[in-house]
Amino acid sequence: MTKFINLHTHQFLNFSDVIEVVNQYPWEFDASIPNYSIGIHPWYIDENRLEKDLESITEKLQLPECLALGECGLDKRIEIPLELQILVFKKQLEIVKQMNKPIVLHCVAAYDEVIAIKKELKITNPMIIHGFSKNEQVAKSLLKNDFYLSFGKYLLRNPDLEKVFKFAPENQILLETDTIEESIYQVYEKAAAIKGISVDKMKAIVFTNFSRIFS
């Protein structure tokens, strides 16, 4: 059966027809969650805990239930210095390179930096920008550099994003709920309506992409 995919969520709801990639942090880990990603979010970098967190990520990424690294990335709108964020981001990328698992990215106002780091470290792991909310120009630049775009919250909130989603290639899109109240089913309904296809077709597209990325 083709399941709905929720590429990034902070809530484990355990619906039988949904594969949820639940966001986890090394410092508050729940071993009962069947599928998760783990990473150091730029908001929560703590240098006192950094080595321990990186050890935990290294260990968890080797487990089959740990599907991806993340969310991790860069955010220019926070107090934490960008140099430190880049250092922590690169350390995580060096770990995941060895395991070839996908990377779920948090990126705010730092798309050029993320693209440059991908090239500099020669990352071949699939990289997914979660919660994509930017314009067509940013989308084109990311898509050209082989990033995947995951849509959710802003697809429901921002009508301007509809034309970006409409033009985004079917083989480079995913869907998610992140922290919103709305269900993953509502996200799929909206996405299908924008693309002018059925929910079943939308499901098949995202499931195919997920299967390929997370093979």
Residue 45's pLDDT is what?
Answer: 98
What's the rounded Cα separation, in Å, for the pair 134 and 107?
Answer: 11
pLDDT at 20: 98
Say which residue the tokens 């390179």 belong to.
Answer: 97
Domain of residue 134, CATH code: 3.20.20.140
Between the CA of residue 88 and those of 67, 157, 177, 214, what are the distances in Å?
20, 31, 26, 24
pLDDT at res. 1: 83
- Structural domain including 162 reads 4-213
Per-10-residue mean pLDDT of the chain, 215 residues long, equals 96 97 97 97 98 98 98 98 98 96 98 98 98 98 98 97 97 98 98 98 98 96
> What total of structural domains would you count in the chain?
1
Q: How far is CA 91 from CA 72, 96, 112, 139, 167, in A?
A: 11, 9, 19, 26, 34
Sheet of 36-38, strand order: 4-9, 18-24, 36-38, 66-75, 103-108, 127-129, 147-151, 173-175
Q: What is the model's pLDDT at position 179?
A: 96
Query: Is 0.85 topped by the overall pTM?
Result: yes
Parallel, antiparallel or unpaired: strands 36-38 and 18-24: parallel
Distance in angstroms (rounded) separating the CA atoms of residues 2 and 126: 22
